[in-house]
């Protein structure tokens, strides 16, 4: 690291550099797993800290790296509370009436968990010795994570069911087709609306010390990304319909014969396997198309006080290739190549991410905040969801 590497000229694009090495990360990862198992999961809290620290420490912008400051003890306490709560929830959910209250309570608790999780993660992360912060409010979290999705879901169901009912009553095929198109159109806007609302909420309430992040983008890039993803699914369905349509029709016979107590033939089982395969071919790439395009939109439209801008140039094809070949290698190595796959993905994402500083990176003013508890973070870990924006 030379003296000049950390003093940047404003406007000079800086590539994000990831220095993680597969062999080194493998050693840390496998020891993490062993100690977690030996301690019946207790060490997993410390393993999480080591994992995050490894990836943060090895990510550099202009010679400065990130750090993660949570302690294993904090994470463990959060996890224990979530486990006790989860067991209580499971047992109490079996009791009549109490289960309804429990269900409503979880709904009410969700925004709290999300805000606490985002807050904890931001305040325990730092760049160049300055902590991040998150200042989003629970009311707004309730709107973007709970209310908005429910309202749009109800709208879709109402239009779909209403149109279907009318079509059934009048026997009009045109009306049915109209309802189907209406559902598709609402869907095409509903997902972008929710997704953009979440990204606005998360990014616009994040800070690096006293510098605020801000993000705004029109709806159209979101709709465009989703359209491309849906177009891929439609394409797969059409192509497979042309290629295998006749064979699929024979599956209807199979269900008839199964009802009569018959056994499926190997050919029919093969067809069912093919349907599973087509399902993956349709939906996995669609997910990557959307993710890659939205990541670029997100970075390109985010700013940080001080005139700092961001840029992401992830390519759909390349991301898909890395993700699919990673999954293949991990599967045939019974998981042992996972660290290699993670390093490979992270290196690619870093290589396509840029910061265009508007001023000196020395000038971020730090601000210490109490990080709060790790309950929301533990809940997110357990359910396997990331409440953030998934950088």
Partner 1 sequence: MATDPYARFGLTLRGWAFPGGSSRKVPAKLVTRAPLDGRGDAPFVDIVDEADRVIAAAQFDEITIDPPLGRSPRRMHFPDEAMFETEDHDGVRSLTGQTRGDLLSSYEAFRPRLVAVIAALAVCCWVLWRYGLDLMVTAAIALTPAGLLGYMDQGTLQTIDLTMADDTELDDAERDRVRQIFSTLLAELPASKINDRDFKLLFRNMERIGPNAFAMPGGTIVMTDQFVEKFPQEDVLAGVLGHEIGHVVESHGLRQTYRSLGMYFLIGFLAGDTGPIIDEILLEGNLLLSLQFSRKHEASADEFGVKLTADAGYDPAGLQMFFREIAKGGLTPPEWLSTHPSSEERVEQIEGYIDALD
Residues 280-319 that bind partner 1 (CB under 8 A): none
Q: Which of 70, 122, 144, 341 binds partner 1 (CB under 8 A)?
A: 341
CA atoms 227, 228, 229, 231: torsion sign: positive
CA–CA dist 24, 2 (Å, integer):
24
Which residues, including other chains, have CB under 8 Å from residue 146's CB and lie 6 or more apart?
107, 110, 111
Nearer to partner 1, 153 or 280 (CB): 280
Q: How many residues bind partner 1 (CB under 8 A)?
A: 73
Q: Is 50 in the site for partner 1 (CB under 8 A)?
A: yes
Nearer to partner 1, 78 or 221 (CB): 78
Which residues, including other chains, have CB under 8 Å from residue 128's CB and lie 6 or more apart?
64, 65, 361, 364
Name the CA dihedral angle for 183, 189, 193, 195, rounded to a multiple of 10 degrees. Answer: 90
Task: For the segment 81-100, give every residue that binds partner 1 (CB under 8 A).
Answer: 83, 86-87, 90-96, 98-99
Over the window 153 to 192, marking each residue x when it contacts partner 1 by CB under 8 A and - when it does not, the resulting string is ----------------------------------------
Nearer to partner 1, 48 or 116 (CB): 48
Q: Is 258 in the site for partner 1 (CB under 8 A)?
A: no
Phi, psi values for residue 43, rounded to 5°: -65, -20
Q: Is 330 in the site for partner 1 (CB under 8 A)?
A: yes
Tell me which long-range contacts 188-193 makes (C-beta under 8 A, separation of at least 24). Answer: 188/223, 188/226, 188/227, 188/230, 189/219, 189/223, 190/152, 190/153, 190/155, 190/156, 191/222, 191/226, 192/219, 192/222, 192/223, 192/225, 192/226, 193/148, 193/152, 193/219
Tell me which stretch binds partner 1 (CB under 8 A): 175-183, 193-201, 238-246, 336-344: 336-344
Task: For the segment 193-212, give every residue that binds partner 1 (CB under 8 A).
Answer: 209
Tell me which stretch binds partner 1 (CB under 8 A): 10-18, 155-163, 249-257, 327-335: 327-335
Q: Which of 100, 161, 258, 331 binds partner 1 (CB under 8 A)?
A: 331
Nearer to partner 1, 221 or 376 (CB): 376
Task: For the segment 130-149, give every residue that binds partner 1 (CB under 8 A).
Answer: 130
Q: How far is the CB of 82 from partner 1 (least distance, A)?
A: 9
Secondary structure, 3-state, 210-259: CEEEEECCCCHHHHHHHHHHHHHHHHHHHHHHHHHHHHHHHHHHHHHHHH
Over the window 10 to 49, marking each residue x when it contacts partner 1 by CB under 8 A and - when it does not, the resulting string is ---------x-x-xxxxxxxxxxxx-xxx-xx--x--xx-
Task: For the segment 63-82, give every residue that binds partner 1 (CB under 8 A).
Answer: 63-65, 67, 79
Task: For the segment 345-384, give every residue that binds partner 1 (CB under 8 A).
Answer: 361-366, 368, 381-384
Rounded to a whole number, what is the largest CA-CA distance in the chain? Answer: 79
Q: Beta partners for 18?
A: 59
């Amino acid at each position: 690291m030379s003296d000049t590497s950390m003093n940047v000229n404003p406007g000079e694009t800086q590539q994000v550099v990831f220095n993680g090495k597969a062999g080194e990360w493998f050693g840390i990862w496998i020891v993490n797993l062993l100690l977690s198992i030996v301690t019946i999961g207790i060490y997993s809290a410390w393993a999480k800290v080591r994992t995050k620290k490894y990836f943060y420490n090895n990510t550099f912008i202009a010679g400065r790296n990130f750090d993660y400051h949570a302690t294993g003890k904090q994470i463990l306490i959060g996890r224990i509370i979530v486990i006790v709560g989860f067991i209580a929830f499971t047992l109490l959910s079996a009791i009549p009436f109490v289960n309804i209250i429990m269900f409503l309570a979880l709904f009410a608790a969700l925004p709290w968990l999300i805000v606490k999780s985002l807050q904890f993660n931001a305040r325990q992360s730092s760049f160049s010795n300055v902590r991040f912060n998150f200042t989003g409010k629970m009311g707004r979290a309730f709107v973007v994570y709970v209310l908005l999705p429910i309202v749009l879901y109800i709208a879709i169901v109402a239009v779909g069911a209403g149109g279907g009912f009318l079509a059934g009553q009048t026997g009009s095929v045109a009306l049915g087709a109209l309802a189907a198109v209406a559902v598709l159109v609402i869907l095409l806007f509903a997902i972008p609306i929710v997704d953009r609302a979440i990204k606005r909420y998360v990014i616009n309430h994040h800070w690096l010390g006293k510098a605020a992040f801000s993000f705004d983008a029109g709806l159209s890039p979101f709709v465009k990304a989703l359209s491309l993803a849906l177009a891929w699914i439609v394409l797969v369905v059409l192509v497979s319909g042309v290629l295998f349509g006749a064979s699929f029709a024979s599956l209807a016979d199979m269900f008839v014969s199964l009802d009569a107590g018959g056994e499926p033939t190997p050919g029919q089982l093969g067809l069912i396997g093919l349907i599973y395969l087509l399902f993956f071919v349709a939906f996995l790439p669609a997910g990557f198309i959307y993710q890659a395009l939205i990541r670029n939109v997100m970075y390109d439209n985010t700013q940080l006080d001080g005139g700092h801008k961001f840029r992401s140039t992830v390519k759909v094809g390349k991301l898909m290739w890395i993700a699919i070949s990673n999954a293949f290698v991990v599967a045939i190595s019974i998981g042992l190549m996972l660290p290699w796959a993670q390093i490979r993905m992270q290196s690619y994402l870093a290589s396509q991410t840029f910061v265009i500083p508007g001023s000196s990176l020395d000038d971020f003013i730090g601000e210490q905040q109490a990080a709060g508890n790790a309950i929301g973070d533990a809940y997110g870990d357990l359910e396997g969801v990331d409440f953030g924006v998934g950088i």
